[in-house]
Amino acid sequence: MSYPFNNISGINDDQTIKVVVEIPKNSSHKIEWSRLDGYFVLDRVEPGIFNKPVNYGFIPQTLDEDGDELDVLIVTDEPLPFGVVVPRAKVLGVLHFEDSGDNDHKIICVPADDRHQDHYQSVYDLGSKWQQQIAHHFEHYKDLKEKGTTKVGDFADAKQAWQIIKDCHQRALKNPWW
């Protein structure tokens, strides 16, 4: 089956990316893009205490070290609809994260044309409380299924995020599935 996002380059320029939303903010549904099947899959329904505190998606035509597209946390006041493409998202930074021993980075961004979030220039502008909430979520969201399989690292700036994005794009180009 054809990869529906094949004609979408995930990298726009040196400041913005395209993002596909898999899980809206506050959702308990763990939805994943199955690139080999060409459709979205409901992987599981999480207990309400593990609802996503932020919109969650991926950058098309990237491949992280865990074998999946590069994950993205999209900061907005309201949930974004599942399956929507954010055509221009400003990269703020990255959360270093491991899942079952594999690097599973989380790129952090805001929609470039979100007038409520346009003052954010860096992941550090989101504040320590936001960072604590996100770190806590990812440290514990698998506790009832596979406790101890996740490891939250540090938050890093947009420069590190961009290096990861470029590396993941190059990895995808070496192993295209589309």
Look up the CATH number of the domain holding residue 120: 3.90.80.10
Domain-embedded: residue 176: no
Domain-embedded: residue 177: no
pLDDT in tens, 16-37: 999 999 999 999 999 999 888 8
pLDDT at residue 3, as a whole number = 59
pLDDT band (50, 70, 90) for residue 38: confident
Domain-embedded: residue 30: yes
pTM: 0.95
Of residues 8 and 132, the one with the higher pLDDT is: 132
Q: Contacts by 46-53 with C-beta closer than 8 Å and gap 24+?
A: 46/141, 47/144, 50/137, 50/140, 50/141, 50/144, 51/26, 51/27, 52/23, 52/24, 52/25, 52/26, 52/27, 52/137, 53/25, 53/26, 53/133, 53/134, 53/137
Residue 132's domain spans which residues?
16-170
Domain-embedded: residue 9: no
Per-residue pLDDT for 128 more than 50?
yes
Report the domain count for the chain.
Answer: 1
Domain-embedded: residue 1: no
Domain-embedded: residue 178: no
pLDDT at residue 1, as a whole number = 46
Q: Phi and psi dihedrals of 32, rounded to 5?
A: -130, 145
Under a CB-based contact definition with an 8 Å cutoff, are residues 60 and 68 in contact?
no
Per-residue pLDDT for 66 more than 70?
yes
